[in-house]
Amino acid sequence: MSEEINGHRWGFKDTAFEIVDPKTKSVKMTGDRYNLAGYEIPQMVPFIEDTFQVRLDVSKPKPDATRKPLAKPKTNAAFLKAITPALRDDQLSTEESQRLIHSHGQTTADEVYKVLYGEIEKVCDLVVFLETEQQAAAVIKAADEHNICVVPYGGGTSVSCALKLPAGEQRMIVVMNTRGMNRIEWLDTENMKASVQAGISGKELEEELGKRGYTCGHEPDSIELSTLGGWIATNASGMKKNRYGNIEDVVKGVTMITPKGEVRQLDAHARVSVGVQPKDITFGSEGNLGLITSAVIKVHKKPEVTKYNSLVFADWSTGVSFMRELGNTGILPASIRLVDNIQFRSGNALKPAPTFKSKAMSKAQKTVLLNIKKFEPYELVAATIVMEGSAKEVAWQDKHIKSVAKKFGAVVGGPSNGKRGYMLTYAIAYIRDFLASYDIIGETYETTVPWDKVEDVCDAVLARAKELHEEYDLPGVPYVSPRLTQIYHTGACIYFTHGFCTQGVEDPATVFSEIEHSLRETILETGGSLSHHHGIGKLRKDFMSQVLSKDAITMLQGIKKSIDPNNTFGIANNVMES
């Protein structure tokens, strides 16, 4: 299984969805990395066509843009001379492929679509592959002295345009790749914490901790690619936050190198009251303040048992009511996510052609859901569940969840459906890239919503998406599908998937970006937050005056000025200016 990353598209090179037969429109996922791989999927494209109400010509995938030579990179001889003692020649690259890859993230319309089918506005001049904190400090010091713009880069998975380079930046732009800083520096098993370099990916972190019998437990959708430093810089959340916490709960101490020196709290205790803590300004810093080089994190013993399950409810409103009541009990599994009817049916569309046995099982399930429970096939929804802990703890969680679910008329779907639904998360971005080749553009975006506004926000987004679809005279119908991915005492995270067909649409990337912006306005107007865990970047920065007071913004800009007066970290995300 190759670990080679897939350039501008999402994920790994050995993994992609491909058309097996243009006549039948059957699809197959390559490689053996995921449980979707290795079999033909006959219903995926027909389901897409039916849902979008369009017909796709799968015999003619959209060709990638012809690569034009990049502009010659800017150079700064004094800067290059200053960093020479700290770095080997093979740690510096001006190759066009590296410069291009390090000049964008994974935002669909504003970055990926443009780099694949058009042209991005700005490309960096030099990529530096860091391996030590000392090298990082040397590069930052030289950049500050010689008027260079530096940009931190970890896994490259940002979906908020946080890696999009400011179009007006005139200085030499140097991207600092931290993936070489990927070691666990120490593991304290008595106090259950570890010091870890910030360039480690979630996959590497779990593998290394797992060898020693431990886990971090932070599991975002991008865990295979995203890094510890990126999690902190975006204030990330993981799928198992109920058990292990969000990133602010996981991290006990942070080291960040700024042009004015090292920002670090000297001791990473369980909790302290020492005034405003320096580590707190690193959460959501989005590359504006400095380079996060390491963090002290909580670790846990690997769970004795991991158990999956699933539940089916009559409709979205019933499922949301269940999630709310379960949240209020305070007894939660590691992960529980509610998907709407469209995603429930899309999960079925990703299954292989049915065998005699699976047909019989499906018929029995339909009998229970449709004939006995009287669920409507285009209204029912499902929850996927992951429980972790000791065998006794998991058994208690399972019993408790089922008892609450029974009040809402749920049907238990079983562990295989639960595991399959949970693992589908890793396929979403691959599906996005596959569909982009056949004139479907789509993206996910998220928000935090008070419990009493969940259905209002979902209804408003769907209604506004339909209005915009007509206004832009787009083919077919829009795809708008929510899922409830995180639950809290006072509200929940809604994760929307949105897309539309681009057949005959001029400049689809711009159209999608404008529609996404309008839908974000709708979310805010209806009571949702600007972001739950993707961050602000440049995609949402013009909404910041609606979520922070003018004086709060001035305070944050003042912090930036105090530790980076020359704007050496000039990525200009969030409320920061270029």
d(CA 464, CA 258): 43
* Number of residues in the chain: 578
* 312 touches 380 (CB < 8 A): yes
Measured from the Cβ of residue 498, the count of other Cβ atoms closer than 10 Å reads 22
Q: How far apart are CA 483 and CA 340, in angstroms?
A: 6
Positive or negative CA dihedral for 116, 119, 120, 124?
Answer: positive
Cα–Cα dist 5/290, whole Å: 26
Residue 487 has which token pair?
Answer: 């639950």
Residue among 256, 281, 156 nearest 574 (CA): 281
- Beta strands 149-153 and 173-177 are parallel
Cα 205 to Cα 224: distance, rounded to the nearest angstrom: 10
Whether 495 sits among the annotated catalytic residues: the reply is: yes
Distance from C-alpha of 551 to C-alpha of 353, rounded to nearest angstrom: 59
Give the span between the Cα atoms of 134 and 291, in whole angstroms.
12
- Residues paired with 487 in a beta bridge: 492
Q: What angle do CA 500, 506, 509 make, to 5 degrees?
A: 55
Give the number of other CB atoms < 10 A from CB of residue 177. Answer: 22
Q: How far from each other are the two terminal CA atoms of the chain, in whole angstroms?
A: 42
In degrees and rounded to multiples of 5, residue 89 shows phi and psi of -60, -35
Bridge partners for 496 per DSSP: 445, 482
Where are the alpha helices (H) located in 386-507, listed in sequence order?
Answer: 391-407, 415-423, 428-436, 454-471
Q: How many CA atoms lie within 13 A of 61 on its CB side?
A: 15
* 152 φψ region: left (φ > 0), alpha (ψ -120 to 50), beta (else): beta
List the structure tokens of 306: 């991991």
| Whole-angstrom distance, CA of residue 231 vs CA of residue 68 | 34
Q: 214-215 and 300-301: which strand pairing?
A: antiparallel
Determine the Cα–Cα distance for residues 411 and 369; give it in Å rounded to an integer. 8
Angle, helices 508-526/454-471, rounded to nearest 10 degrees: 150
Q: Which H, E and C letters describe 500-525, residue by residue?
A: EECCCCCCHHHHHHHHHHHHHHHHHH
Count of helix runs (H) and strand runs (E) in the chain:
18, 21
In sign, the C-alpha dihedral spanning 128, 133, 134, 137 is: positive
Q: How far apart are CA 172 and CA 151, in angstroms?
A: 11
| Distance in angstroms (rounded) separating the CA atoms of residues 246 and 234 | 11
Choosing from 153, 308, 445, 495, which is the catalytic residue? 495
* Catalytic positions: 495
